[in-house]
């Protein structure tokens, strides 16, 4: 079974609201929008589904660097995250998530553009599905993916959070103009 002995988690009070972070010894594996008490059942279910072996323990220190980088992001001091990620997903999902990391801060791409970028131009809906399964929103910036017509569509944290993140990056103004 993948993973380590422990899965560390911590709550982080961010500018966008409470976030629950989780990590294995290999890196950050989950970011959930919401208070830890509400997110632990979701994280537990995700851990079981991914067949990750380990006990959940609260440990803010283990997630400190991720929280520092998020704070820097929200205060416009960081545009690129430099963290070890421990990704669990299908090969296709991982391909999409890798493509997300190539969308520059402050820019957006359409689902159609991402599909073309990964060499699967007919997989537009599958791109949306992979984004929906993204375990690390913000770190893997699926908020930067919009509809071909420029419309805000689909975001696991809600469209209000997607718009907020794009506003933080200065991308919302570019879409509106």
Of 7, 29, 70, 142, which is the active-site residue? 142
For 22, the 3-state DSSP assignment is strand
Q: What are the φ and ψ backbone dihedral angles of 171, each rounded to 5 degrees?
A: -85, -25
Residue 163 contacts residue 121 (beta carbons within 8 Å): no
Is 142 assigned a catalytic role? yes
Going by C-alpha positions, the residue among 175, 173, 119 that lies closest to residue 148 is 175
Q: How far is the C-alpha of 5 from the C-alpha of 24, rounded, in Å?
A: 8
Q: What radius of gyration, in Å, describes the C-alpha atoms of the chain?
A: 16
Catalytic residues: 142
């Amino acid at each position: 079974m993948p993973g380590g002995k422990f899965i560390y988690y911590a709550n982080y009070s961010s500018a966008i609201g409470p976030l629950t972070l989780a990590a294995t010894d290999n890196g950050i594996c989950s970011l959930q929008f919401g208070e830890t008490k509400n997110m632990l059942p979701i994280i537990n279910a995700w851990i079981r589904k991914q067949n990750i072996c380990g006990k959940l323990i609260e440990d803010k220190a283990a997630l400190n660097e991720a929280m520092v980088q998020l704070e820097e992001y929200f205060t416009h001091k960081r545009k690129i995250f430099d963290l070890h990620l421990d990704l669990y997903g299908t090969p296709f999902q991982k391909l999409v998530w890798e493509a997300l990391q190539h969308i520059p801060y402050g820019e957006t791409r359409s689902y159609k553009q991402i599909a073309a970028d990964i060499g699967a131009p007919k997989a537009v809906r599958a791109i949306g599905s992979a984004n929906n399964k993204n375990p690390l929103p913000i770190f893997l910036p699926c908020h930067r993916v919009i509809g071909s017509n420029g419309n805000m569509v689909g975001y696991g944290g809600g469209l209000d959070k997607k718009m907020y993140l794009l506003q933080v990056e200065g991308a919302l103004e570019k879409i509106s103009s």
